Amino acid sequence: MYREGVTGLCIWHVRQSDGMSTGVSPSAALRASLDALAELVESTSFNLPAAQRSERESLRTELAWNIREYLLPRLGDLEAPLLAVVIGSTGSGKSTLVNSLAQERVSDPGAIRPTTRVPVVWTHPNHLHRYQDGFLTGYGTAGDARHRLRIVTGDDALLKGVTVLDAPDFDSVVEGQREMVEDLLAIADLTVFVTSAQRYADAVPWEFLERTRRRRLPILFVLNRLPAAGADQVVEDYLGRLSEGRILGRSDADTILRIPEQQISSEHGGLSPEAVAPLRATLEAMSDPERRRQVVVTATQGSVRDAVERALNLAGEIEEEAAQVHSLRRAARRAYQTQVTEIAESLRGGTLIRGEVLRRWQEFLGTGELLKVLAEGAGRVRRWASRVFGGSRRVAEINEEANDEIVAAVVRRADLAAGATAAAWEMDEAGKTLLSSRGRGLWSHDPDTPERAGTAIEDWIADLGELIAEQGAGKRRWAQVVSFGVNATAVVVLLAVFAQTGGITGAEFGVAAGAAAAQQKILEHLFGTAAARSLIEEARRRLVAALELVLNKDERRFTDVVDGLASGAEAVEAMRSAAEAVRSTARAFYGR
């Protein structure tokens, strides 16, 4: 509600003077910070298909509109007439009220609802240019029907300081009219809020009152079509509702302008001059240059505060969208890391590959014979190794079987991780939308995963030769490795990595135990007990790391889906900094 006062006006003059002494006026500094904020807001986008996406985009659009279409033009033209936007629900009598002020047919009231489909501007001819290329930029010039205006000029003295705009009904069923009223409220200097004795308790008007209150706009309340009997009770109930909404106080009953139910003139579609005399008097008082400046200071200050609050809210939404994207990433990371852990535990427990592979390895080695050979000395071991490994296709076959088993195990783990990630994403609205855009492809492993796993294992086996050379440093040990065969040693290390007994029960325990004993004995013979254990552990660690990279690439399909959908912490900090810059320059301009 507008209240008389000169504090804002006096402070503006002082601050303007202060600004001139420093070379940059507070007004210019405020507009510069607002322009920077608007640029940042306009560059913001919300791409995650979350439930909040529409609301986030609306917040962004409304904030940019308020700065570009109201604050910047208005702060650059403080002498412009006040824009009084008349709003109300269908049938509240807005158009009748405007015609009553003009005492001519400016707007067309009627029985068919909604009556006002296009905003009607009643302005002085001297100010006509302002509503074609001023702080109503886009209205009447843009191709969008939502931004069309009907302009009516008049030489009424009131219009020298006030332009009256009859807005469409905000509860209209016509598509786009509600949004149009929201746009108009964003560029208003003051609001004439019209309701009737029959409609004042409707829910929709209170939503728009809240928007107006948030911007701290001056509001003139008009309670129209009051019945001859019971008018005081209607006013009292209306005032009570405004008080509960913290819009007016209980002592502000006299600020509600009352208009009794009466005959509408067929000539101009309005009421008698006496019926709207209190409203006209209030508007005329506001049109005085000094009072007008006060209203503009009040309106822009409230709008700047609202812009800062919205910018901070927008920063929060940017942060929340980033958190939602992070949550989707985390679901994928958790699922794939679980499978990496499972692979490591399976290796330690000897369950990563099937027992049949180890059984064939045991049969091939002839475990009993090997143990006898190892007890007879190095020469016997060399002859045995030459006979068993020398040119044997069976070694290559068992090696290949082991490789295939590892690849199959990795693919199974990738399937489990992909399925767990997809299931988690499906529980999230944004994740579900992203999943559906990829068909069923993300529910199982990447088609390239088997080949990647095979390549990783080949590279790991090739790396075993280097690892064996490191552990076989020294002439005596290396001579033993060479006599046994580097390739043969690599095969033994490979199977030693898998031939453990933890987690195996029943008949397969004996198989694994026998194979493990064979590998262990051979490696201890070649390197010594401590070095053999170290060799196996290091080989196992490198294999887990190689397979983790394979699973990470499979996981990358999920992170690729969300890459670029959300801004980072830098965008949040930039938005908050820009909002604080506006707050700071506004404090210098308004003095508080």
Instruction: For strands 256-260 and 219-226, give the pairing.
Output: parallel
Nearest alpha carbon to residue 583 among 78, 212, 30, 43: 30
- Return the pLDDT at 417: 97
Q: pLDDT-derived band of residue 8, with 50, 70 and 90 as boundaries?
A: very low
Backbone angles phi, psi at 431, to 5 degrees: -60, -40
- Return the pLDDT at 320: 96
- Return the pLDDT at 60: 94
Residue 510 to residue 504: CA distance in whole angstroms: 9
Lowest mean pLDDT among 390-394, 419-423, 425-429: 390-394
Higher model confidence: residue 504 or residue 220?
220
In the DSSP assignment, the letter for residue 565 is: S
Q: Is the pLDDT of residue 398 over 80?
A: no
- Return the pLDDT at 515: 53
Q: Is the pLDDT of residue 445 over 90?
A: yes
Q: Is the pLDDT of residue 511 over 50?
A: no
- Return the pLDDT at 354: 59
Percent of the chain with pLDDT over 70: 72
- Return the pLDDT at 31: 96
Residue 235 to residue 381: CA distance in whole angstroms: 109
- Return the pLDDT at 374: 56
Give the mean pLDDT of the chain. 79
Burial of 59 (0-12, 13-18, 19+ CB in 10 A): buried
Q: Is the pLDDT of residue 222 over 80?
A: yes
CA distances from 310 to 11, 305, 471 (A): 26, 9, 65
Residue 491 to residue 393: CA distance in whole angstroms: 13
CA distances from 398 to 357, 360, 488 (A): 7, 8, 12
- Return the pLDDT at 389: 60
In the DSSP assignment, the letter for residue 62 is: H
Both tokens of 570, joined, read 């830098």
Query: Strands across the sheet with 120-123, in order?
Result: 150-153, 120-123, 162-166, 82-88, 190-196, 219-226, 256-260
Q: pLDDT-derived band of residue 368, with 50, 70 and 90 as boundaries?
A: low
Nearest alpha carbon to residue 551 among 338, 369, 358: 338
Q: pLDDT-derived band of residue 280, with 50, 70 and 90 as boundaries?
A: very high
- Return the pLDDT at 228: 83
Both tokens of 397, joined, read 């076959």
**Residue 371, SS3 per DSSP:** helix
CA distances from 430 to 318, 421, 422, 424, 556 (A): 15, 13, 12, 11, 18
Residue type, 324: Q
CA distances from 151 to 69, 128, 163, 259, 466 (A): 18, 8, 11, 26, 86
- Return the pLDDT at 421: 97
Q: pLDDT-derived band of residue 371, with 50, 70 and 90 as boundaries?
A: low
CA distances from 355 to 192, 361, 504, 530 (A): 85, 10, 9, 27
**Residue 558, SS3 per DSSP:** helix
If you average pLDDT over residues 98-118, what whole number do you get? 74
Higher model confidence: residue 388 or residue 533?
533
Does residue 273 have a cis bond before it (omega within 30 degrees)? no
Which contacts (CB < 8 Å, 24+ apart) does range 275-281 have? 275/100, 276/97, 276/100, 276/101, 279/97, 279/101, 279/192, 279/220, 279/222, 280/101, 280/158
Instruction: Say what the pTM is.
Output: 0.75
Report the interhelical angle of 355-365 vs 367-376 (nearest 10°).
50
Instruction: Report the CATH fold assignment for 80-287.
Output: Rossmann fold (3.40.50)
CB 92 within 8 A of CB 194: yes
- Kind and range of the H or E run holding 86: strand 82-88
pLDDT tens-digit map of 32-69: 999 999 999 999 999 999 999 999 999 999 899 889 88
- Return the pLDDT at 377: 58
Q: pLDDT-derived band of residue 231, with 50, 70 and 90 as boundaries?
A: confident
If you average pLDDT over residues 174-196, what whole number do you get? 82
The sign of the torsion formed by the CA atoms of 265, 267, 269, 273 equals negative
- Return the pLDDT at 483: 53
- Return the pLDDT at 19: 40
- Return the pLDDT at 365: 59
Q: Is the pLDDT of residue 133 over 60?
A: no
If you average pLDDT over residues 420-437, what whole number do you get? 94
If you average pLDDT over residues 284-296, what whole number do you get? 89
Report the interhelical angle of 393-426 vs 529-562 (nearest 10°).
40
**Residue 163, SS3 per DSSP:** strand
- Return the pLDDT at 174: 63
Q: Is the pLDDT of residue 502 over 50?
A: no
Nearest alpha carbon to residue 217 among 1, 484, 409, 494: 1
- Return the pLDDT at 46: 94
Percent of the chain with pLDDT over 90: 36
- Return the pLDDT at 129: 79
- Return the pLDDT at 340: 96
Q: Is the pLDDT of residue 401 over 60?
A: yes
